[in-house]
Amino acid sequence: MEDEIFAQRTDLSGLSRAVEQIKATLSTIIVGQHDSIDLLIAGILADGHVLIEGVPGVAKTLTAKLIAKSIDAKYSRIQFTPDLMPSDILGTSVFNPKTTEFEFKHGPIFGNIILIDEINRAPAKTQSALFEVMEERQLTMDGTAYKMDEPFIVLATQNPVEHEGTYRLPEAQLDRFLFKIEVKYPTLDEEIAVITQQHNQKTADQLGHVKPVLSAHEIVTLRQVVKNLHVEDKLVVYVAQIVHESRSNKSLYLGGSPRASLAIVNAAKAIAAIKGRDFVTPDDIAYVAAPVLRHRIMLTPDKEMEGVTPDDVIAQIIHKIEVPR
């Protein structure tokens, strides 16, 4: 009887195999960063864009490239610079003398996995070019709407300590990222392992042996599986309470929007699937709350002066709200 009660309602064996293969591939090159990798995979399964923040040299771009190489889909990399124009990303209309008409030439944003390196280096005009395409998976040029192929994922990196020649991302754009992943320095043991691994490596091509694990079509199929995972009503209330509390918290100038609530639910489903469950638990919600909310909330000036971080406030909010049983 117990086996029937706890039987899986959704077959996650294919998803689990794919996730394990991706992790195994990444572990041959990336040391540690288990949470970052889980969140990146969850972002892809939850159909969300991911912002990766960390100081130079902590393998932000390498990790994103490895994730992209493990999926058999069209990959583009765009290096953001202060002189980058919207047409450099989206594309532009070019006159064709043979047909005497203008033809739209697709820019690098037309792909499945788009890596934007140092996203905060481009000015507001270029950032705004991403608003429509990130939210609606389409862009409008000269009155014509162009749909993005599925899957469409933006993985963006930024450096939190360098401010020369950078521009703060607009709040509306930050809100379009499912996660903000903060990549920390490795531990001493992890750093020793990194040095040893690099020292013993016989070839300069780190990515050469990485083979695709999933196709673009399989990603779309797995997303539908994740979307259908079970979330109890009391957990929906729990998520709403967390986000609602962020709006009335005295430490915050700006709280989470309804988009944040939806993001927590979708992200929690993806994390549950990665862990082999077809239902969401309160622990899944608590796990994704910080990466979903940390870029969507703003501290009051006095709390910033005190050295309080968004993660501190999120942890206080989660501690304050009663966990559903």
pLDDT of residue 204: 61
pLDDT band at 293 (very low <50, low <70, confident <90, very high): very high
pLDDT-above-70 percentage for the chain: 94
Beta-carbon contacts of residue 251 (< 8 Å; ≥ 6 apart): 299, 300, 303, 308, 313, 316
CB 230 within 8 A of CB 278: yes
Tens-digit pLDDT profile for residues 55-66: 887 778 888 888
C-alpha 272/C-alpha 209 separation (Å) is 30
pLDDT of residue 1: 39
- State mean pLDDT over 159-179: 82
pLDDT band at 207 (very low <50, low <70, confident <90, very high): low
pLDDT band at 127 (very low <50, low <70, confident <90, very high): confident
Q: Quote the pTM value.
A: 0.86
C-alpha 137/C-alpha 140 separation (Å) is 10
pLDDT of residue 203: 63
Question: What are the start and end residues of each CATH 3.40.50.300 domain in the chain?
Answer: 8-187
CB 130 within 8 A of CB 173: yes
Choices 3.40.50.300, 3.20.20.140, 1.10.3720.10, 1.20.1060.10: CATH for 8-187: 3.40.50.300
Closest CA to 107 of 126, 125, 122: 126
Strand duo 252-254 + 75-79: pairing: unpaired
- State mean pLDDT over 276-284: 90
CB 271 within 8 A of CB 283: no
pLDDT-above-90 percentage for the chain: 25
pLDDT band at 202 (very low <50, low <70, confident <90, very high): low
pLDDT of residue 286: 93
Q: Is the pLDDT of residue 232 over 60?
A: yes
Q: Is the pLDDT of residue 250 over 60?
A: yes
Assigned token pair, 293:
């909310």
Beta-carbon contacts of residue 303 (< 8 Å; ≥ 6 apart): 251, 252, 313
Tokens 């005295």 found at: 250
Tokens 């293969």 found at: 21
C-alpha 66/C-alpha 56 separation (Å) is 17
Q: Is the pLDDT of residue 291 over 70?
A: yes
Pick the range with the lowest mean pLDDT from 78-82, 84-88, 134-138, 166-170.
166-170
Q: Is the pLDDT of residue 273 over 80?
A: yes
- State mean pLDDT over 110-128: 87
pLDDT of residue 141: 80
Average pLDDT, the chain: 85
Question: What are the start and end residues of each CATH 1.10.8.80 domain in the chain?
Answer: 229-325
C-alpha 210/C-alpha 145 separation (Å) is 35
pLDDT of residue 3: 43
Beta-carbon contacts of residue 300 (< 8 Å; ≥ 6 apart): 250, 251, 252, 253
- State mean pLDDT over 205-230: 81
Which residues are bridge partners to 298 per DSSP? 254
- State mean pLDDT over 92-116: 84
pLDDT of residue 10: 66
Q: Is the pLDDT of residue 180 over 60?
A: yes
Q: What DSSP letter does each residue of 285-323 carry, written as one string?
A: HHHHHHHHHTTT-EE-HHHHHTT--HHHHHHHHHHHSPP
Burial class (CB in 10 A: 0-12, 13-18, 19+), 32: buried
pLDDT of residue 262: 94
pLDDT of residue 8: 58
pLDDT of residue 205: 63
CATH 2.30.40.10 applies to domain 229-325: no
Q: What DSSP letter does each residue of 136-164 carry, written as one string?
A: HSEEEETTEEEEPPSS-EEEEEE-SS--T
Tens-digit pLDDT profile for residues 2-59: 444 444 566 677 778 888 888 877 777 777 778 888 898 899 989 899 999 888 877 7
Kindly report the length of the chain: 325
